[in-house]
Amino acid sequence: MFDFQLEEKVWFWMLLIIPVIVFLYTILQFWKYRTQKRFSSNKLLSRLSPNQSLFKSILKVVVLCLAFGSLAIALVNPKIGTKLETVKRQGVDIVFAVDVSKSMLAEDISPNRLEKSKQLVNQIINNLASDRVGIIAYAGKAFPQLPITTDYASAKMFLKSMNTDMLSSQGTAINEAIELAKTYFDDEEQTNRVLIIISDGEDHSDIASNVAEEAADEGIRIFTIGVGETEGGPIPIKRNGILLNYKKDSQGETVITKLNEETLQQIAEEANGAYIKGNNTSEVIEEIKNILNRMDKTEFEAKEFADYKDQFQWFLGFGIFFLFIDIFLLERKTEWLKRLNLFNENI
């Protein structure tokens, strides 16, 4: 079993040199062909330059491209981890349930409620040490995004892709998010269990408090973070970032969505947690840190790759090798090439 790491991904931009080389070579060949046709026929040209080889000129370009490709990968410095170690960790299991209903598009908090929610989760993850995290998306239904893991990079990747179009059923079924979160904590080795719900609390189900109480009986503490303003705001309808209109109800009135703090406070109280206003990111992070620090940390095992070894030297060697071949590869026919008669060049 192997694991790969790419140390300097920015050097992949160097690969853009390859299509530039191919483009310039094609233009050069076209220009040479047009110019030669103006002054001589193919028959006369073959008599004047009998040793000129189209095959070898193409081969030089291919070799040069391989050289640049190898050097680019060498600069990226791929690493291979071949040793899998079991590491002892201490931490808390945290599941984030992020509301992706349409009301989260309201811009009463900048840039909008959903983006603010994602920023909060991202910053909380940045301040974790050895805790495990999972992610749930929910609107009218709840959908598992990422199971419990210590892979924070994957968590951020899944978080970034979340949007209000990922779930067709609308609403804010917090109860379903809590029910789904319970299945995340089904391992006896898992540590303290924390569910953090980020929502505006609107269109909630009346049974959410009952489900929260059941979750508390299973040892899950629920903390809720409210995003938005109690005064509320309209829900913009946009296309390609351009505002077209605002969502309207059946009477044609503009819908105003408001932060429902009472619901979120009630859910948190039922599950031995706390409600946090999500407007100030630094205050939210500080409060979550204090909550987690006060919790008992349970030791668990996590497997990770160790002994990553640099592999750039192989690609550097290939790059130098191809450059060496390109330097000494002339665009003239050699005896072995004449005998091969590639592309019917001797006819």
Q: What percent of the chain has pLDDT above 70?
A: 78
Q: What is the pLDDT of residue 45?
A: 56
On the question of pLDDT at 1 being above 60, the answer is: no
pLDDT of 13 over the 80 cut: yes
CA distance 172 to 136: 13
**Is pLDDT above 90 for 298?**
no
User: pLDDT of 212-232, one tens digit each?
Assistant: 999 998 889 999 999 999 999
Confidence of residue 82 (pLDDT cuts 50, 70, 90): low
Query: Distance (Å, rounded) from C-alpha 133 to C-alpha 147?
Result: 8
Calculate the alpha carbon distances from 98 to 50, 116, 139, 158, 185 in Å: 72, 11, 9, 12, 17
Average pLDDT, rounded, for the chain: 82
Residue of 331, 345, 223 lying closest to 287 (CA atoms): 223
Q: What confidence tier does 90 reach under pLDDT thresholds 50, 70, 90? A: confident
User: What tens digit of pLDDT does each residue of 62-75 get?
Assistant: 888 998 899 998 88
pLDDT of residue 121: 96
* pLDDT bracket for residue 278 (50, 70, 90): very high
Structure confidence at residue 7 (pLDDT): 77
Judged against a pLDDT cut of 60, whether residue 344 lies above it is answered with no
337 vs 290, higher pLDDT: 290
Q: Which two tokens stand for residue 250?
A: 């059946």
Mean pLDDT, residues 13-34: 86
First to last CA, the chain: 54
What pLDDT, on a 0 to 100 scale, did the predictor assign at position 347? 41
Confidence bin at 341 (pLDDT 50/70/90): low
Whether residue 97 is predicted with pLDDT greater than 70 in this model: the reply is yes
Domains and CATH numbers, the chain: 3-77+311-344 (no CATH), 88-302 (3.40.50.410)
256-257 vs 233-234, strand pairing mode? antiparallel
- Is the pTM of the predicted complex or chain greater than 0.75? no
User: What would the pLDDT profile of 147-198 be if each residue is shown by its tens digit?
Assistant: 988 889 899 999 999 998 887 776 668 888 999 999 988 666 566 889 999 9
Q: What is the pLDDT of residue 315?
A: 87
The predicted pLDDT at position 275 comes to 96
pLDDT for the residue numbered 124: 95
Return the SS3 of 5.
strand
What's the pLDDT at 242?
Answer: 85
Q: Given this model, what pLDDT does residue 125 score?
A: 95
The whole-number pLDDT of residue 197 equals 95
Is residue 49 over pLDDT 80? no
| Torsion angles phi and psi, residue 148, rounded to 5 | -55, 130
Distance between CA atoms of residues 330 and 303, nearest Å: 53
What mean pLDDT is predicted for residues 198-211? 80
Q: What is the pLDDT of residue 343?
A: 47
